[in-house]
Structure 1
C-alpha cells in the first residue's frame, strides 16, 4: 500500500512521512488497512513498525522498519528512495515517483550471522530480485541494507553536463 500511495501522491506522502506524528499515524493506518481481510489469527501486531530517514548515495531515503517477517518473501525493511532533491514543503516542486526497495526473507538456512534475504525492487506491479541481501534479524541489518541500496543506486548523475572545451594544439 505504501509504494502505491507514494507513487500516486509523491510530494504529499513525502511531506507526511517527514512529520514524525503524521508518519506514525499513516503507517499504523496502512498496517491495519492491509490486514482488514485477514482472519484474526493471521494478523501481526505492528510491533517495531517505524520510519527513519537516511541519505543513501546522495538521495533522501525513507526506511520502513517492519515487524519481523513470518514467512518467505515478507520484508524485514522497505525503502522509498527519492531520486530528486524536491523540497516537500514547496508547493511547486516537481512530483517525482520514488523508487521502492525491499529486503525480503528468503529460503535458506539461518545461522548465527542471521537469516537469508533478497533485495527486491518494485515498479508498479513489476517485482525484480536484485540478488542476495545482508543477513536478516541482526542489530545492524538495516545499515547493511542501506549500504546495499547505495551500491545498487550508484552515485547520483549530474543534472547538467559539465562544461567542456576542446583545445587543439
Structure 2
C-alpha cells in the first residue's frame, strides 16, 4: 500500500492544483525558482496532517520540461517509491501551445503517472504501470517501462508519446468541388 505522503502529493494535490488553475500553474512551473517553491509547498501540504513518522523527505523531487508528441510536458521526478501505487514519475501534458486569452478558455492538462506495481524485479528493472487521472477517475493504461534504469524517464515519455499520438491537425483542408 502506498505511503500517504507520496500518494497525497502525486495522486491528489498535484493534479487538483494543475486542473484548478491550468494556465497559472503552467506559468509557475515554467519558472525554475517558482517551480521549486511550488513543488516544495505542495510536498509539505501533502504531509500536513500526517504524523512525523509518515513524512517522507523530498529527496529527488524535481521538475524537467520536455516535448512529447508535439506537446509541452512537465515531468515530475519523484522520491523513490517503496510500495505499489507510489510513482516514479508523473507528467502534466498540455495539449495547447499558447496560454488561453481568458480563464473560460483554459483547457485542463492531461495527467499521467508511472507507478510501482507488483511483480518481481529483474536485471531490466522494477515493474511499473502507466496510469492516467481524469478528474476522479484513475485508469491503468498498461505495463510501463522498467524502473530504476538511467533511461526510465525517457522510456516513460516515449510511452506517453505513443498514448497521445500525433497532434490533431487543426487546419481545415481546402476542398474544391468539381462538378462534371
Relative to the length of structure 2, the TM-score reads 0.88
The RMSD of aligned alpha carbons is 1.5
Alpha-carbon distance between aligned partners in 2 of 1:55 and 1:96, rounded to the nearest angstrom: 18
Aligned length: 167
Determine helix, strand or coil for the equivalent of 1:29: helix
Residue 19, structure 1, aligned to residue 31, structure 2: yes
Post-superposition CA distance 1:38-79 (Å, at most 9, x none): 222221110110000000000000000000001101000000
Question: Is the contact made by 1:10 and 1:95 (CA closer than 8 Å) also made in structure 2?
Answer: yes
Of 52, 55, 77, the match for 1:40? 52
Structure 1 unmatched runs, 5+: none
Q: CA deviation at 1:167?
A: 4.2
Unaligned runs of 5+ in 2: 1-12
Question: Which residue does 1:122 correspond to in 2?
Answer: 133
- Give the match for residue 54 of structure 1: 66
Runs of 4+ in structure 1 over 3 Å off = 90-94, 166-169
Measured in 1, the distance between the counterparts of 2:144 and 2:172 equals 34
Alpha-carbon displacement from aligned partner over 1:17-58 (angstroms, at most 9, x marks no partner): 000000000001101110112222221110110000000000
TM-score (norm 1): 0.94
- Once the 2 structures are TM-superposed, how far is the Cα of residue 96 of structure 1 from its aligned partner? 1.1
Greater helix percent: which structure? 2
SS of equivalent to 2:125: coil
Choose from 5, 8, 15 the match for 2:17.
Answer: 5
Q: Which residue, 156, 165, 172 being the options, matches 1:161?
A: 172
Partner Cα distance (2:179, 2:79) in 1: 62
Contact conserved, 1:86 with 1:95, CA < 8 A, in 2? no
Q: Quick one: distance in 1 between partners of 2:156 and 2:179? A: 48
Q: Does 1:112 align with 2:131?
A: no
